[in-house]
Amino acid sequence: MKQLQGTDAQRVVRTLDQEIRSRGRGSIRAVDRAAGHREGWWQHRAASGDITVHQLLKVLDHLGLDPVGFMRRALGAADGLELDRPRGTAPEIVAKAWDRLRSGEEGSGIGETYLETLDQQRYQEPQEVVKLTEWAADHVELPLLPRLLGVAGSALRLLILLDEAEHTIHAGIEIAELQGDRAAVGKLLQRLSYIVGDRGDRVESLRLAERAALVFLRIRDWSGLGKATVEQGIWLYHLKRYQESIEAHKAALDLMPESCPRYRCTAYQYLGLNWRQIGEPQKAMQYLIEAESVAVAAGIEEWARSKLIWLRARIHTDLGELDQAVLLLSVVVESFRDLHPGEAALATCDLVRVHLLRKQPEYAYLAATSMRALLEPLRHNKIISAAIGDLLGCSQAGLTLALVKRVQARIEDERKHRQRMWQSLRSRG
């Protein structure tokens, strides 16, 4: 069972010793018995400052103390970070992970390789990965429980089960703190930033990425620091702080080795996005070419390749190269149709717009009517469905650039509305 180490272990044992002694006469002997050891066991723990996570949980259970609350009292919030408690009901894997940790059973040897495979599989089969992580909670090596919860939380995020995803990542952070695994805390904060970003709270996402970077800096994990810096750049871009985002991504490229092609690809991609927003499409294209080159080495998934193709199409549009833009946007729409219907709707709006710019309203109309297939998967979002309905309800002659712009704006406004709604809920506690 993993041993708490260093000053963290000493602070935990010191705080626990004070708690035990505050219970009065006989409390130390009662702890010895509860832990299943002979008299003097706790006195030795208190003197040496050594304790395993399993022993700690046994003592806390005997004292009736919540492990997470105790650890926050003993160590303070992780790096000064206060995390809002998740809403809703925690998914089954959270209870299974805590039960497994309390049991102290080492597991049947499921390790890093299996978790890496699940982490890649979640992009194509998130539902299946959620089931597999629930099964693996009883078998994974104990030190890898936080990593398993990270994979499960990211899969739940792809299923847009954000409350469940947040519960799962929080549990991973809490268990990683109990295990004294600072690297795992940093990686889980990174995953949490994307869940919060899906809520629309990009300021909080940036804060989480910054805290993750601080964790990696303190443990001298330069690769982790580079990745967290990429994520800071992503959230700065979404906050329209383009110059700061450029600085962050350039710094990240200096920090990350060539062995991190996925993150290097993202850094180049966002450099392209930033320069496009600034109004420099030629510079944007230069960085996009770099991203595409690295993407080949990274072996990135279809949805990520589609994002690069979409950016290339928009840059071609900016440069007036409309025929090329149409070909690329058609590929993007087809790719996103099943993967992400909301993105497919926005990409289709781009395609309609480019057809109109080419003075080909008949093709624009055909592209617009293809959005009918998106109504069913988007039926739960009334606002986006209504926006699509505006396009479907007009004639070829009534299809204008102004209308397409309004429809795109309504879809984007819906995202912003969800952001404001979520931030309001958080502020009310």
Shared fold status for 77-200 and 221-296: yes
Query: Can you give the pTM of this predicted structure?
Result: 0.77
- Is 133:118 a contact under the CB 8 Å cutoff? yes
**Within its chain, how far is the Cα of 302 from the centroid?**
18
The residues of the chain scoring below 70 in pLDDT are: 1-9, 68, 72, 75-84, 415-429
As beta bridge partners, residue 4 has 51
Q: Give the closest residue to 347 by CA, choosing from 380, 317, 382.
A: 317
pLDDT score at 294: 93
pLDDT score at 424: 45
Fold for the domain defined by 3-76: 434 Repressor (Amino-terminal Domain) (1.10.260)
Query: Which CATH architecture fits 221-296?
Result: Alpha Horseshoe (1.25)
Class of domain 301-414: mainly alpha
Helix (H) or strand (E) holding 11: helix 6-21
Domain boundaries, the chain: 3-76, 77-200, 221-296, 301-414
CATH pick for 77-200 out of 1.10.287, 3.90.480, 1.25.40, 1.10.10: 1.25.40
pLDDT score at 75: 62
What are 301's two structure tokens?
């998934």
pLDDT score at 222: 92
pLDDT score at 159: 86
Integer Cα distance of 234 and 232 in angstroms: 5
What are 135's two structure tokens?
């099964």
Helix (H) or strand (E) holding 51: strand 51-52
- Is 310:346 a contact under the CB 8 Å cutoff? no
pLDDT score at 3: 57
As beta bridge partners, residue 3 has 52
Q: Give the closest residue to 239 by CA, choosing from 266, 277, 203.
A: 203
pLDDT score at 1: 47
Residue 213's Cβ-count burial label (10 Å; 0-12, 13-18, 19+) is buried
